Structure 1
Amino acid sequence: MNDAAEGNGFNPAEEGVVSWIRGDGPHAEIILSTRIRLARNLENYPFREKSGSEDRERARGEIVAAVRPGDAGFERVRSVRLGELSERELNLLLELHLVSRELVNGRTSAALVLGDEGRLSLLVNEEDHVRIQTLLPGFQVEEAWRMAEEMDRVLRGRLRFAFHHDFGFLTSCPTNTGTGLRASVLIHLPALVLTREISKVLQGISQIGLTFRGLYGEGSDVIGNYFQISNQTTLGKTEIELVQHLAKITQQVVEYEENARQVLARDALDEIEDKVWRAYGILSCARAVSFDEMMNLISAVRLGVSMKLLPPVRVFDLNRLLLLTQSAHLESRAGRGLSVREAEVERASLVREILGGGERGTNGGGR
């Protein structure tokens, strides 16, 4: 087997395994990450709904073997079979936004092939045989597309994908047929929520071919004023058109958010200062905090830092808090399973440590 052979894995709990938390991309204070996914299926295999375990194993083997060091963003190739991971390790991958819940649910024949810092990866045997995924910090739609397109071109030189002259790339779900492309940004919009303009904005984007979801994508709730905005259709437009449309509308949403922050600073500065300082004070002193409460408080702190109402906190540290305070990361840090109360105590301790500067300067960039 090549360097991507299963068993040449990685520790998903290691910081630095993903680059999206670094906070060093364009508009990083508002946009956490940009993702591109390309859905592809092998020509000579049944699609997942009609395939047996032997078909899925053979498909997995062909796809993993087609990836080589030096390909696109794969300077180093690491591959792991999800069926060999513990429940905690699978949850770590979910929290890192490297895999989907669907891939985890079908873990028996599923694999993750990971490039450097999670910027490029392959999700094998999810809804489709393979999904090429790029995940970058900040607002980098065109760069994420460039990387995905390059890897797609490499794989098409080694594998035969199911393609129809009239319909384009064929996928398990008809809504992905055509380009097979899903482009999305994870964006923080607290000022639009506070000024009650968010419904108008979300309704507007839904009328022009985009949709929104929560922090973990499809089926997840919006929490902490974080929204995933993505294209709704993949058929009838080219990949470039879809990518440019998302980039254009996202830029407009960023401008709406920035304008809303200016309105808050002009018309409700006392209330906003009180809100963000209360959030900062609670997080700096709390001895136990739930994830949902922390997300809402961190949203306020992130807003306060951006508006220069609070002591400077790096975007990198704010992003780390979103990641490291989730359940699987807390348990990995503690080295054991945690009860709900123990997790709340551990989470509060980690928040105090990071906000207090105890871990600053050890990794990453950002402010």
Structure 2
Amino acid sequence: MSNLRFTEQALSEWMRGNGQDSDIVISTRVRVARNLQHLPFPLLATGEQSGEVLERLTGVLKDQEELQDLGPFHTIRLDEIDGLDKRVLVEKRLISPSLADESRNGAVILTEDESVSIMINEEDHLRIQCLYPGFQVHEAWERATKLDDLFEAKVDYAFDDKRGYLTSCPTNVGTGLRASVMMHLPALVMTQQINRILSAVSQVGLTVRGIYGEGSEAVGNLFQISNQITLGQTESEIIENLHSVAMQIIEHEKNARERLISESKLRITDRVMRSYGILSYAEVMESKEAAQRLSDVRLGVDLGLLNGPPSSVMNELNVMTQPGFLQKRFGETMNHNERDVYRAKLIRETLSKEQ
């Protein structure tokens, strides 16, 4: 199977719209950061040293019987694909912006369903990412730790008895674990409860970011909630804390949705239908407006107000309407205004197929 399909197809396994509480939790991600002992971290490594890291880590996954349930792995070297393909991989959340822009001898190893993404020579030598649909924190952690154990059996990690796993960024030292859930919280935003909820989240060791992590804006009512602390807690404590808090946020969002239906059903229905109509017929669509109106339609479908497209289509549209994928899809280099035209065209065509 050609590696081109990872950048030519927008739909990843995490976009399928299944999994527990998938009407609110779009996806779950668990990532562990590791470095090899006796080799400089990527930011200080020479080309020869980062090449050694690449060779050693890609060799770990060869002929591993324990990984047969995942199917074959596909390795993509970042220096062998163009900038547009890199951007698409970022938009699909399969690699980080750092790996796309700054890595030397960088690579990503993907499973066919894209639920596992292993980044090499990013900010750290090794970053194992497991991305699942819906609310599956424990399942994603189980897969990530299994892969981590396989690597640790073959290579020596940089580890300190007091500090734990050593990483390039001090905020990852300790467990090296980042666990997150991407949540669709439109009702909490509409009922003006979101700031109070997010403030409470920050007081229990969690942080809130946009869909693409640190430095990204939360658009389309999508919020990524992840642990902020990696040192001083065990992996199990981090996972359980995220799971517990996410469960409470899910309950708050469900209650807010019930309140909207009981108190403002007509207005919410009108908002949903207006957004669906605009998405179906608009000739020009900016990125932020597309994200907001897709959020409205998703909420309408979840509340039974609209017999619209399934959640997998909505998730796919969130990726397909990003700048990189738009240009990849239509085979053209576009400026900002041209992307707005093609974004509207793509949305119209996709929604018409679902009618």
- 1:175 is displaced (CA, Å) by 1.3
Give the whole-Å Cα distance in 1 for the aligned partners of 2:208 and 2:300: 25
2:54 pairs with 60, 68, 71, which one?
A: 60
Number of residue equivalences = 353
The amino acid across from 1:301 in the alignment is V
Check if 1:224 corresponds to 2:220: yes
CA contact (8 A) 2:14 2:133 kept: yes
Check if 1:46 corresponds to 2:40: yes
Check if 1:347 corresponds to 2:336: no
Show the 5 A alignment for 1:232-247: 232-247=228-243
CA contact (8 A) 1:74 1:114 kept: no
Check if 1:286 corresponds to 2:282: yes
Equivalent in the alignment of 1:301: 297
2:198 pairs with 202, 207, 219, which one?
A: 202
- 1:204 is displaced (CA, Å) by 0.3
The amino acid across from 1:285 in the alignment is Y
Give the whole-Å Cα distance in 1 for the aligned partners of 2:349 and 2:88: 21
Equivalent in the alignment of 2:91: 95
Give the whole-Å Cα distance in 1 for the aligned partners of 2:329 and 2:267: 37
Check if 1:154 corresponds to 2:154: no
- 1:14 is displaced (CA, Å) by 3.4
> TM-score, normalised to structure 2's length?
0.95
CA contact (8 A) 1:30 1:189 kept: yes
CA contact (8 A) 1:289 1:345 kept: yes
- 1:16 is displaced (CA, Å) by 6.9
> TM-score, normalised to structure 1's length?
0.92
Equivalent in the alignment of 1:272: 268
The amino acid across from 2:29 in the alignment is R
Any idea what SS the aligned residue of 2:183 has? strand
**What is the RMSD computed on CA atoms of the aligned residues?**
1.7
Give the whole-Å Cα distance in 2 for the aligned partners of 1:276 and 1:8: 40
Equivalent in the alignment of 1:18: 12
Equivalent in the alignment of 1:363: none
CA contact (8 A) 1:71 1:151 kept: no
CA contact (8 A) 2:107 2:120 kept: yes
- 1:50 is displaced (CA, Å) by 2.9
Give the whole-Å Cα distance in 1 for the aligned partners of 2:335 and 2:116: 34
2:25 pairs with 21, 31, 45, which one?
A: 31
Give the whole-Å Cα distance in 2 for the aligned partners of 1:343 and 1:322: 14
1:135 pairs with 104, 120, 131, which one?
A: 131
List structure 1 runs of 4+ shifted beyond 6 angstroms.
Answer: none
The amino acid across from 1:64 in the alignment is T
Give the whole-Å Cα distance in 2 for the aligned partners of 1:202 and 1:39: 26
Any idea what SS the aligned residue of 2:208 has? strand
Question: Mind listing any 5+ residue stretches in structure 2 that lack a counterpart?
Answer: none
Of 232-241 and 101-110, more deviation after overlay is shown by 101-110
Any idea what SS the aligned residue of 1:49 has? coil
Of 48-57 and 257-266, more deviation after overlay is shown by 48-57
* Percent identity of equivalent pairs: 40
Give the whole-Å Cα distance in 2 for the aligned partners of 1:154 and 1:240: 19
CA contact (8 A) 2:75 2:107 kept: yes
The amino acid across from 2:195 in the alignment is S
